Structure 1
Amino acid sequence: MSLITLGVVALDCPAPRELAAFYAAALDWRVTDDGGDGEWVEVAGPDGRTLAFQRVDEGYRPPQWPGQDVPQQLHLDFDVPRDRIDEAERKVTELGAKLVQHDEGVRNFRVYLDPVGHPFCLCFT
């Protein structure tokens, strides 16, 4: 076993509770830690996977995709069965995501922005 293992991926955002609710609903995970003050909120999934959302009170600037004026710094990839990609797209867009790059029948992924601008992909499996 490795000495160092991945614990949590944390995303900066202006409203951690709201962004945690988006990802919890999109992934069918659950909000597990709110600490009461809403500064740090965690969403738990299977096998100990965790996403966290950390408040940035002032100066939050969403990444600009695909440009680099405000670099994305990271993005999340989520696997979806190929025959259910349209269903997954409906789900995330109804929750507030915005489609910014369709697969156009050429790629094996579609790119979206979450409600505060972080890019993520739905990848066909």
Structure 2
Amino acid sequence: MPIADLGTVVLDCPDPAALAAFYAELLGGEVDASDDAWVDLKGVGVAMAFQKVPGHVPPQWPDPARPQQFHLDLVVGDLDTAQKQALALGATLLEDHGGRHGFRTFADPAGHPFCLCID
């Protein structure tokens, strides 16, 4: 039985609305730009979101000094239980937002960030 469901693929970028518009033209879907720091693209299969990162340095393929940048939002039913299971698998807790936002940020064993989120 899986611990979580894939909720959203999130891409870091300097201009979330512009990047969401690009992907909307490429993939279809509907842009929800109600927040200038986080923009959703809905109706394209797996949910996509675009997150503003000040000072964003874009990836440079295939330069390992500037690797690909994104994180996964994984939807869980119980945040505390999922956290215990993720930690047992080798995840590292990076930030516990104190339950204020309904998610916690972790790193996978290779250091890639992901969030466990309440649906």
Q: What TM-score comes out, normalization by structure 1 length?
A: 0.50
Residue in 1 aligned with 2:48? 51
Q: Which runs of 4+ in 1 moved over 6 A?
A: none
Residue in 1 aligned with 2:12? 12
Residue in 2 aligned with 1:34? 33
SS of corresponding position for 1:68 = coil
Aligned length: 70
Q: Which has the higher contact order (CA 8 A, sep 6+)?
A: 2
- Displacement of 1:56 in angstroms is 0.9
Q: How does 1:42-121 map to 2 (within 5 A)?
A: 42-47=40-45, 49-57=46-54, 59-73=55-69
Gaps of 5+ in 1: 75-125
More strand by share: 2
- Displacement of 1:30 in angstroms is 1.4
2:3 & 2:56 partners in 1: Cα distance? 34
Gaps of 5+ in 2: 71-119
Q: What TM-score comes out, normalization by structure 2 length?
A: 0.52
SS of corresponding position for 1:38 = coil
C-alpha RMSD of matched pairs (Å): 1.8
- Displacement of 1:46 in angstroms is 4.6
SS of corresponding position for 2:5 = coil
SS of corresponding position for 2:49 = strand
CA deviations over 1:26-56 (Å, ceiling 9, x no partner): 001111x222x31100001255x21000001
SS of corresponding position for 2:19 = helix
SS of corresponding position for 2:7 = coil
1:38 & 1:8 partners in 2: Cα distance? 18
SS of corresponding position for 1:8 = strand
Give the fraction of aligned pairs with identical amino acids, expressed as a percent: 50
Letter in 1 for 2:21: A
